[in-house]
Structure 1
Amino acid sequence: MATENTLLKIKKSIEPYVGKKVRIKANRGRKKTFEKEGILEKVYPSIFVVRVEESPELVRRISYSYSDILTETVQLTLCQKEKSASN
């Protein structure tokens, strides 16, 4: 069983990435997955929010709990900066 301390450690590990581009992979059940890139916008005591721009006119904000990461329902990875082609 997850303790309060475990969820706090997950929150602390995510906090430095606020404002950075991340990749979210979420299990939606029945072999359905959701995979998008967005900006880690806010970190709250119980949840974190990712802003996903699906088109210039459509911006979605999706929230997940830290227990989603613990149970591996959600995977959050930091996107690497694209290298400029200087050849």
Structure 2
Amino acid sequence: MAKNALLDIKRNLEAHVGSKIRLRANGGRRKTVERTGVLEETYPSVFIVKLDQESQSFKRVSYSYADILTESVEVTVCNDEGQIRITQT
């Protein structure tokens, strides 16, 4: 069952490769980190986000699909019609 959920999350993200997204991730010790960037690539176990060039110390970050499933990371796709949140199903 969890494998199907991970596959669904991966398919949802694959449809938005190249789109602008907003990430909210657990930064540890009750901190939440918010970042924006472009969904650059999806791989079998992880996805890569190229971050905006504001004052970020990293150019790219990667997260696993399990991070979305366990709600450690929230991904929101920003497109012309509005915002779509990618969640576990």
TM normalised by structure 1 equals 0.81
Give the Cα separation in 1 of the matches to 2:11 and 2:48.
15
The total of aligned residue pairs comes to 80
> How high is the sequence identity, in percent, across the aligned residues?
48
Find the structure with the greater CA-based Rg: 1
Alignment match, 1:61: 60
- The 8 Å contact of residues 19 and 79 in structure 2, kept in 1 or not, is answered as no
Structure 1 stretches of at least 4 aligned residues deviating more than 4 Å after TM superposition: none
Alignment match, 1:6: 5
Give the Cα separation in 1 of the matches to 2:17 and 2:9.
14
Instruction: Using the TM superposition, give the Cα deviation of residue 28 of structure 1 relative to its aligned residue in structure 2, in angstroms.
Output: 1.5
Cα deviation 1:23-76 (Å, max 9, x = unaligned)? 0000112111110110000000000000002349x7611000000000000000
Q: CA RMSD in A?
A: 2.1
Where do 5+ consecutive residues of structure 2 fail to align?
81-89
Alignment match, 2:75: 76
